[in-house]
Structure 1
């Protein structure tokens, strides 16, 4: 019997396919810009974190002196404590509100499309503008309302209270951050097949049971994404805090980002560059955590 050999012409194995030049046209400029704008300055900053440089002039190597000093600096420790505490509370609040809104805005209600548009408006407004608006509300409008209604604890601005100022920052940050988390939750809920809910209804499941046993488990991957992305974003909070409290009263609401930037302009360049390097390591750890928790999840 003759053996027929079929030769496929014009096709190469995947490993032998040549990359089209158009890909390099998009990749190389972006890679060069990223290297010049991000990588090179970061490496230079890490280098100067081992010196006593003030940003200009002469400098000398000091080894790990800046890093050792940071762990005994109350201002640095306070900024990390505030930043992590504020981030954790805000993440919980944002995701709780966003998830509940997503459940409501994906239900069979009237005007849900216009309502979705309304709820995402805060996402497109600049954070510093939002901060100045709420600064006026907390400093003028809320105390006036407290005085008019006789509520004594509202008569004083929250922004002037070192124990409560962080609550105002949490509220304003959450107000701006809820829309982005809301959109992700809406996408997750809408990706659940309607047949699943119909089958559950036939089996006698209530709306509450459907929410807890169907919706929550099936959107858990989106919860993970929102929690970790939100936590990373809140660690870098700066503009809203500047507009609301400027780190005050005193240093009660000074974040790590504010501490680093104030050091750059105050003559502590090398010291705060060491702080920035440590903060970079924290961000990398959070990013690796995100990758490990979302790896292997379908549809994400």
Structure 2
């Protein structure tokens, strides 16, 4: 038994070392530099909490936070609604059920950047061309070039790709519901809507909680889709926090300042995730 424990320990040590070197140490280093004026090179001086206070005074940072929250909330809601509808459809008795499940999951395994570049071409070239050919004026404009509409293009792409993963989780929850529960409800005269609210949704509530938390966390860190589709533009209308931190820290000589921004954002994401879990788990109990 002692030899077995030693073997397990030896197998775990490399993973712990790699995790510390490539994750924990860089994170601690970033926190350290957030209290300095380091630009990413040269010498630095300690400035205390100055960087943290400046983040709350930065209009560009505040705009990025507002855009990111707006994007994350809208996309999270759309993804979960669409995923649940698809999962319920795939869980019903239809032909080619397994094939359809595989097809729906395909977007999740594709590269986000590649998908972003493809949709960039569709929105900027193909759709306006089709709009001209069909005489549909609404489609002739590239929405990615419109400051008010560009973020909807990113939402469409994010939803299209993310629905796959959430659908699989909802399917895992739906198969745990015994069929005789629905049969008993049908005998009592319950309709489709009543079955959903009284049986389906309460019994998949834990899966709903997981999907909501994971989706919100993922969309709060949106980066690749924006890089591939708008680059944060037009202007700064689609600049997310992740993109602002990247550009300011690695391209703008604001390494220490954006490190402080990253620490604040990390805390924000943790607080939102914990809040979601507490509220949604309380709802599970109430159900």
Q: TM-score, normalised by structure 2?
A: 0.93
The one of 265, 268, 271 aligned to 1:279: 265
The one of 100, 108, 124 aligned to 2:93: 108
Contact 2:182 2:195 in 1 (8 A): yes
In the alignment, is residue 72 of structure 1 matched against residue 57 of structure 2? Answer: yes
Deviation at 1:294, TM superposition (A): 6.8
In the alignment, is residue 127 of structure 1 matched against residue 94 of structure 2? Answer: no
3-state SS of 1:120 partner? helix
Residue 225 of structure 1 is matched in structure 2 by: 210
Contact 2:104 2:164 in 1 (8 A): yes
In the alignment, is residue 23 of structure 1 matched against residue 8 of structure 2? Answer: yes
3-state SS of 1:119 partner? helix
| Unpaired runs of at least 5, structure 2 | none
Residue 4 of structure 1 is matched in structure 2 by: none
* Larger relative helix fraction: 2
3-state SS of 2:231 partner? coil
3-state SS of 2:72 partner? helix
Query: What is the Cα-based RMSD across aligned positions, in Å?
Result: 2.0
Residue 139 of structure 1 is matched in structure 2 by: 124
Query: Structure 2 vs 1, CA of residues 30 and 283 (structure 1 numbering), >3 Å: closer, same or farther?
Result: farther
1:14-45 alpha-carbon deviations (Å, 9 max, x no partner): xxx99822331332222211111111111111
| Unpaired runs of at least 5, structure 1 | 1-9, 11-16
Query: Structure 2 vs 1, CA of residues 291 and 217 (structure 1 numbering), >3 Å: closer, same or farther?
Result: closer
Post-superposition, which runs of at least 4 consecutive aligned residues in structure 1 deviate over 4 A?
Answer: 293-298
In the alignment, is residue 216 of structure 1 matched against residue 201 of structure 2? Answer: yes
Equivalent runs, 1:1-300 vs 2, <5 Å: 20-264=5-249, 265-289=251-275, 292=278
1:269-294 alpha-carbon deviations (Å, 9 max, x no partner): 11111111111111222343355457
Deviation at 1:150, TM superposition (A): 2.4
* Structure with the greater alpha carbon radius of gyration: 1
3-state SS of 1:71 partner? helix
3-state SS of 2:92 partner? coil
Residue 6 of structure 1 is matched in structure 2 by: none
Distance across 2 between alignment mates of 1:169 and 1:291 = 26
Distance across 2 between alignment mates of 1:184 and 1:127 = 20
Number of equivalences? 283
Contact 1:225 1:294 in 2 (8 A): no
Distance across 2 between alignment mates of 1:25 and 1:109 = 50
